Amino acid sequence: MNYVCIKLEFDGNIAILTLNQPEALNAVSFEMLGELADAMEQIESREDEIRCLVITGAGRGFCSGADVTGIRSSMITEDERDIGEPLETQYNPLFLRLRDLGMPIITAVNGPAAGVGMSLALMGDLVLAARSCYFLQAFSRIGLIPDGGATYLLPRLVGRARAMELSLLAEKLPAETALQWGLINRVYEDEQLMPEAIKMAKRLSGGPTATYRLLRKAYWQSLENSYREQLDLERILQRDAGRTEDFVEGVLAFLERRPAQFRGK
């Protein structure tokens, strides 16, 4: 598939997915959603060789949210409209695929991350931000509620009070404040963001990818599990981790006092 709205590149065992509509600050159109779905299929089909995914934006923005110009015509011509329908058919499947991906995800937030763009940024297992970027829950500015899983993640990341503040006031949250709140992991000078993101991706891609997949599953399910359920899940996932080739290599490397050579299996 020839992409117009995104770019998908492979750097060794790293996949780099770039939202590529810089003239619109990478607003998510229906065309972009179709391309993202195709890109996810490519990445998933190569999980044996691709061991980390980096998501970023082209130009001066990460993602300005949904492309509202794409729904303007339907708002004019239809008496009844269902803005939630695209969430069910296109957005939510994308976010679920990202949640279930069998490799770590790094989001390199190079500029404004607004609306569903902020939700996408927060899908990173590691969220790295340029110092000049900001986060914005812009939904209430056009009479909508947060989506893309924002109402699920935000209270768990920053607490209910701050989640409500972000959503009700729709004020820009600078990268430094987002770091202080625990919303993101690291802030870099703008020109250092992508080099640092690739450096971190290469570090993760040399790790025990099969274990990372189990680790991601454990933390996502912990958001819903009771303490007892999480203990039971840890027992099951630890069994699976102990059966990987990387576990054997990790133990041998430790005993032999050498760096481990993980294969991601």
Is pLDDT at 73 greater than 60 in this prediction? no
Residue type, 62: F
* Count of the separate structural domains present in the chain: 2
Q: What is the pTM of this model?
A: 0.93
Q: Supply 101's token pair.
A: 């991906």
Both 70 and 17 in one domain: the answer is: yes
Same domain for 201 and 222, yes or no, is no
Residue 265 lies inside a defined structural domain of this protein: no
Identify the pLDDT of residue 142. Answer: 85
75 band by pLDDT with thresholds 50, 70 and 90? low
Q: Is the dihedral of CA 50, 223, 126, 144 positive or negative?
A: positive
The answer on 220 and 106 residing in a single domain is no
Asked if residue 19 belongs to a domain, the reply is yes
- The boundaries of the domain holding residue 87 are 6-205
Domain end position, chosen among 205, 220, 243: 205
Summary mean pLDDT of the chain: 93
Q: What average pLDDT does range 182-205 have in this prediction?
A: 97
192, part of any domain = yes
Regarding whether 251 and 156 lie in a shared domain, the answer is no
* 232 confidence band (pLDDT: 50, 70, 90): very high
Task: State the pLDDT at residue 71.
Answer: 61
Q: What is the predicted pLDDT for the residue at 97?
A: 97
Phi, psi at residue 249, to the nearest 5°?
-65, -40
Both 226 and 117 in one domain: the answer is: no
Spatial strand order in the sheet of 105-109: 6-11, 14-19, 52-57, 105-109, 126-130, 186-188
Q: Is the same domain home to 88 and 132?
A: yes
220 plus 93 within the same structural domain: no
Q: Region 172-180: what's the mean pLDDT?
A: 98
Does residue 78 carry a pLDDT above 70? no
Residues 45 and 81 sit within 8 Å (Cβ to Cβ):
no
**262 occurs within a structural domain:** no
The Cα–Cα gap between 102 and 45 comes to 11
The arithmetic mean of pLDDT across residues 171-193, rounded, is 98
Whole-angstrom distance, CA of residue 153 vs CA of residue 99: 12
